[in-house]
Structure 1
Amino acid sequence: MQIKFWGVRGSIASPGPETAAVGGNTSCVEVRCGAARFILDAGTGIRKLGDALMAEGNVRATLLLSHLHWDHIQGLPFFVPAYVPSTRVEVVGTTHGVGTLRDTLANQMAAPNFPVRLEDLGAEIAYREVRHGQAFDIGEVKVRVAKLNHPGGVLAYRLDHAGKSVVYATDTEHYACVDPALRSLAEGADVLIYDSQYTPEEYRGDHGRSKAGWGHSTYVAGAELARAAGVGTYVLFHHDPTRNDAAVDDMERLARDLFPSSLAAREGMVLGVDALAEAA
């Protein structure tokens, strides 16, 4: 199992010299499980992932969407493999009762928003709507789904393959205690990728508006979850678009004081899950 980060920002892309080291693209993570390829969210980072996949030949992938807010789907119209007839992609997610998954993705590409319609894409695209607590197999990979806490709804995913596991839990707000549904999903996972957009001070609104109710979490809550679930490595993800590289580095150091096996997600970062498990 190998993880590569193609987009690590939350809310909106934030290019510029002050974010170049960490990266400014919105959420997109690639997970390779043997021959199976999974794409977690389709933010702007999926564009460069698509270019890389095209260089490897025919594309076969499963796209797991946490939710359908724009920063998590806006890269899909720029995913070059979607225009190629030999591509096969299954899109997994839910609308939480608002229309269908396909219709929601089609809406962002409808005139006058975009010049190419979803139905004009050349790839073979299938859609699977899932719900909280569901588990299913894709090849030799077991996928588990849990509903988290975000305006409009959001899903977390756990991938298990050959004795290794990764949990993707972005755009969720922590409770007063560790979220029992997420703790159960993440129990014993090798890697936990968790929404760590805010510091506790930002979340409380110590020097500005409180972020409570916005649907995002903190590195302190992430470390608490990582300890409670007994995960191997905690990855801080969905960085605030206003947070520069140095501030992300500072947050990483603070997280390590609470949970030593913590690291901040950065574009281009590759994690070999086998190697992390051996080092733990």
Structure 2
Amino acid sequence: MSSMESQFKIKFWGVRGSIACPGAETVRYGGNTSCITMRVNGHLLIFDGGTGLRVLGQSLLREMPINASMFFTHSHWDHIQGFPFFVPAFVPSNTFKIYGAVAPNGSTIEQRLNDQMLHPNFPVPLQIMGADLTFYDLAVGEAVEVSKGIKVENALLNHPGEAVGYRVSWQGLSVAYITDTEHLPDRLDENVLWLARNAELMIYDATYTDEEYYSEKSSKVGWGHSTWQEAVKIAKEANVKKLVIFHHDPLHNDEFMDQVKEDTANEFPNSIVAWEGLEIDVMTIGKEPPVILSAT
């Protein structure tokens, strides 16, 4: 078995939420919006198509032809705006299977990706893309086997307009990708716990801190996002081995994220704040010592 066929690796190409925020204050963590890849047993899985997808596309040009599966959590702009700039989708030799749940208004992921590329929003239509694009409508709760032994499950998240989270499993290892969800006021979300159950790794939407979320002056309740404190509660209750804080607020600069990193690690030692370019080998989780940061 080759090294590509015995791996389970994750890479982060965009870690922000809401809007891309490049600049001097976001250099270390990055300013692109949501996009990650999982390379599992030789198969490439892409999750979300925020502006980080453009960066991923430039990297993939060295690997063509590409055969990959793409999964969208939902179609808010920060999760799809990179798709029209995803160069491999314009190359005829490439193949992409594209999955997404049907929106509450009945629109499919194909319709929503198509609509953002219509005039006056974009100069060329989706149909100009030369790659083999096949779209699949996911039912909430439906499990998909993208390749032998690689299972992708989904569950509904608490987000305006609806979104789904994903759980990828292979050879007894699991990763939960839970972005764009708001924690419940009186209990832990059963869908989130189910996605994260005993996972080696949980990637979680921690856009805010509790202080911001419950602020009397500018409350974020009802905005569809969660906090790092809730991420820790979920990670502990679901018996997650490693926690990744994700979907950073565009107002949170590098220094702010450094503090989030320290605070989270104090509560859940085996945690990390995602940055663009971060790579994690799922097969080594639990075998490396946890990083413990002392409070200053």
Normalised by the length of structure 2, the TM-score is 0.92
Equivalents in 2 of 1:137, 1:125: separation in Å? 18
CA contact (8 A) 1:109 1:118 kept: yes
Write the letter of the residue equivalent to 1:204. Answer: Y
Q: How do 1:187-206 residues align onto structure 2 when only pairs under 5 Å count? A: 187-206=197-216
- 1:96-146: CA deviation from partner (whole Å, max 9, x where unpaired): 232222111111000111111011110111111112221121113111110
Query: Which of 97, 117, 132 pairs up with 2:125?
Result: 117
Q: How far does residue 277 in structure 1 lie from its aligned partner after superposition? A: 3.1
Aligned to 2:109: 101
CA contact (8 A) 2:104 2:161 kept: no
* Residue ranges of structure 2 left out of the alignment (5+ in a row): 1-7, 290-296
Write the letter of the residue equivalent to 1:121. Answer: M
Equivalents in 2 of 1:185, 1:49: separation in Å? 26
Aligned to 1:246: 255
1:136 aligns with 2:144: yes
Aligned to 2:195: 185
Aligned to 1:12: 19
Percentage of pairs with the same residue: 44
1:51 aligns with 2:51: no
Q: How far does residue 162 in structure 1 lie from its aligned partner after superposition? A: 2.1
Aligned to 2:294: none
Aligned to 2:82: 75
Aligned to 1:35: 42
Query: Which of structure 1's runs of 4+ aligned residues deviate more than 4 A?
Result: none
Equivalents in 2 of 1:97, 1:120: separation in Å? 28
CA contact (8 A) 2:175 2:202 kept: yes
Q: Secondary structure at the match of 1:279?
A: coil
Equivalents in 1 of 2:108, 2:241: separation in Å? 36
- 1:32-89: CA deviation from partner (whole Å, max 9, x where unpaired): 0011111110000011111111101211111110100011000000000000001111
* Count of residue pairs the alignment pairs up: 279
Equivalents in 2 of 1:118, 1:156: separation in Å? 25
CA contact (8 A) 1:25 1:43 kept: yes
Equivalents in 2 of 1:79, 1:108: separation in Å? 14
* Residue ranges of structure 1 left out of the alignment (5+ in a row): none
Q: How far does residue 164 in structure 1 lie from its aligned partner after superposition? A: 1.5
Q: How far does residue 163 in structure 1 lie from its aligned partner after superposition? A: 2.1
Equivalents in 2 of 1:103, 1:119: separation in Å? 12
Kindly report the root-mean-square deviation, in angstroms, between the aligned alpha carbons of the 2 structures: 1.0
Q: Secondary structure at the match of 1:211?
A: coil
Aligned to 1:215: 224
